[in-house]
């Protein structure tokens, strides 16, 4: 649901969008298409993905159905020749390039010990190099445009060590995209090329997020990002450059007074999952209040053994099939101890002590909050984002706890 009206300002403009076959990249393309823009879909997916919807060709059909013109190009942003070929094709068909959107990105939310070099190299060969290379190769054509923009889907440069400690490999790769904004905005002023960054305040309901967490009820629709991107790309690049914008701030500036319709579940607005790299003072206050309440209720009567006894009765082969992860819980405080839930083998199992197989994720938190987390009174994602829950291992699998707990809380 788009809440920012199209103005026609991008009519006839040519956008080169990396990773535009699905998700945020495609949403930006579709928004521009409503103005009658030309869109180069620079993405890898030429054949249908077994788990993710959309190809460069299906995206092209959607763009043209909305009144835009599309040029699907098979592009791996790690390959300079493929990027250059797509640029050449765009210039031949549309006589130039006005806007570059660096959207293609790879993500692995693991700590240092659990980040294999294959995944490290993937992130560090796509995120920053792909952004730098596409910007470098498009620059000669952007110089010839009277409305030249580069927009990177990357976060503000928050140097709080917390964001590095969680997933330093991903943080470095993503911040490289933001550093491109910082440097190129100043460098390209002489060419009247605006260079800006856009980042969502909350999780965005894309197929990737659905795969990551198994749940989009705590996310906003992709429209809030495409609305924000559209509003930014309609600004005068001579004066609008070097900004690290947040999606809801931008759409509010554009005149949107009520953000609730952007939520996948408007009734769940208070529980939206906040995105990485942003400080959330209000959420910290909410979390402290939740923690204080849980601590006030906590007793030394042994809540955790009773909790795991209830959990054991709720495990099933179906839950194992959906989750495919082993969790270890290091509980601190009055009920200090180690517990586990195995949702990878058989019909599932849980109990005290370390799991028989190595855990995919190890979670450490105060015992006073543990029962509330499984009862749905303290969201693990919120606790994690605020540093109250420490996670080692595969953070992506740890995030699946949110959905698992929903299925358990009515039975616990």
Q: How far is CA 273 from the centre of its chain?
A: 11
Of 57, 162, 170, 262, the catalytic one is 170
Residue 302: pLDDT band (50, 70, 90) is low
Residue identified by tokens 């209720």 is: 297
Determine what percent of the chain is predicted with pLDDT higher than 90. 63
Residue 225: pLDDT band (50, 70, 90) is very high
Q: Which fold has domain 14-271?
A: Rossmann fold (3.40.50)
On the question of pLDDT at 89 being above 60, the answer is: yes
On the question of pLDDT at 117 being above 90, the answer is: yes
Looking at domain 281-409, its CATH class is alpha beta
| Per-position b or e across 205-236, b if 16+ CB within 10 A of its CB | bbebbeebbbbbbbbbbbbbbbbbbbbbbbbe
Q: What is the pLDDT of residues 244-299, one digit of tens each?
A: 999 999 999 999 999 999 999 999 898 888 888 997 654 444 434 433 444 444 33
- Residues 228 and 250 sit within 8 Å (Cβ to Cβ): yes
Predicted local confidence at residue 409, as pLDDT: 56
For the chain, domain boundaries? 14-271, 281-409
pTM over 0.75: yes
CA atoms within 13 A on the CB side of 33: 24
Predicted local confidence at residue 308, as pLDDT: 84
On the question of pLDDT at 207 being above 80, the answer is: no
- Residues 245 and 198 sit within 8 Å (Cβ to Cβ): yes
Question: What is the torsional sign of CA 50, 46, 216, 68?
Answer: negative
Catalytic annotation present for 162 = no
SS3 340: strand
Determine what percent of the chain is predicted with pLDDT higher than 70. 87
On the question of pLDDT at 172 being above 70, the answer is: yes
On the question of pLDDT at 322 being above 90, the answer is: no
Q: Which residues pair with 339 in a beta bridge?
A: 329, 352
């Amino acid at each position: 649901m788009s809440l920012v009206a199209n103005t026609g300002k991008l009519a006839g403009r040519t956008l080169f969008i990396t990773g535009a076959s699905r998700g945020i990249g495609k949403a930006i393309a579709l928004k521009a298409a409503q103005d009658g823009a030309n869109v180069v879909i620079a993405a890898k997916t030429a054949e249908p993905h077994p788990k993710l919807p959309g190809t460069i060709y299906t995206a092209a059909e959607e763009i043209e159905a909305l009144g835009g013109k599309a040029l699907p190009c098979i592009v791996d942003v790690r390959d300079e020749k493929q990027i250059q070929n797509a640029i050449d094709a765009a210039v031949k068909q549309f006589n130039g390039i006005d806007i570059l959107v660096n959207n293609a990105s790879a993500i692995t939310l693991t700590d240092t010990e659990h980040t294999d070099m294959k995944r490290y190299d993937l992130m560090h060969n796509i995120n920053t190099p792909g952004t730098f290379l596409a910007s470098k190769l498009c620059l000669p054509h952007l110089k010839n445009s009277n409305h030249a923009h580069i927009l990177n889907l990357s976060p503000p440069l928050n140097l709080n060590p917390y964001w590095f400690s969680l997933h330093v490999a991903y943080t470095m790769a993503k911040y490289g995209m933001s550093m491109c904004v910082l440097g190129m905005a100043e460098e390209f002023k002489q060419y009247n090329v605006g260079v800006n960054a856009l980042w969502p305040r909350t999780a965005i309901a894309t197929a990737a997020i659905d795969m990551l967490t198994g749940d989009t009820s705590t996310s906003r629709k992709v429209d809030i990002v495409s609305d924000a991107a559209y509003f930014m790309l309609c600004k005068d690049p001579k004066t609008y450059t070097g900004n690290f914008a947040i999606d809801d701030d931008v759409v509010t500036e554009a005149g949107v007074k009520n953000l609730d319709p952007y939520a996948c579940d408007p009734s769940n607005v208070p529980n939206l999952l906040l995105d990485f790299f942003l400080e959330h003072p209000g959420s910290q206050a909410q979390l402290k209040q939740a923690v204080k309440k849980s601590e006030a209720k906590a007793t030394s009567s042994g809540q955790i053994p009773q909790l795991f006894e209830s959990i054991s009765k709720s495990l099933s082969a179906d839950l194992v099939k959906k989750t495919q992860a082993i969790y270890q819980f290091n509980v601190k405080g009055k009920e200090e101890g180690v517990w586990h839930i195995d949702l990878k083998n058989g019909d599932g199992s849980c109990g005290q002590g370390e799991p028989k197989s190595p855990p995919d994720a190890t979670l450490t938190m105060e015992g006073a909050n543990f029962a509330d987390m499984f009862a749905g009174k303290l969201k693990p994602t919120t606790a994690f984002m605020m540093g109250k829950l420490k996670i080692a291992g595969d953070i992506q699998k740890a995030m699946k706890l949110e959905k698992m707990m929903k299925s358990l809380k009515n039975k616990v």
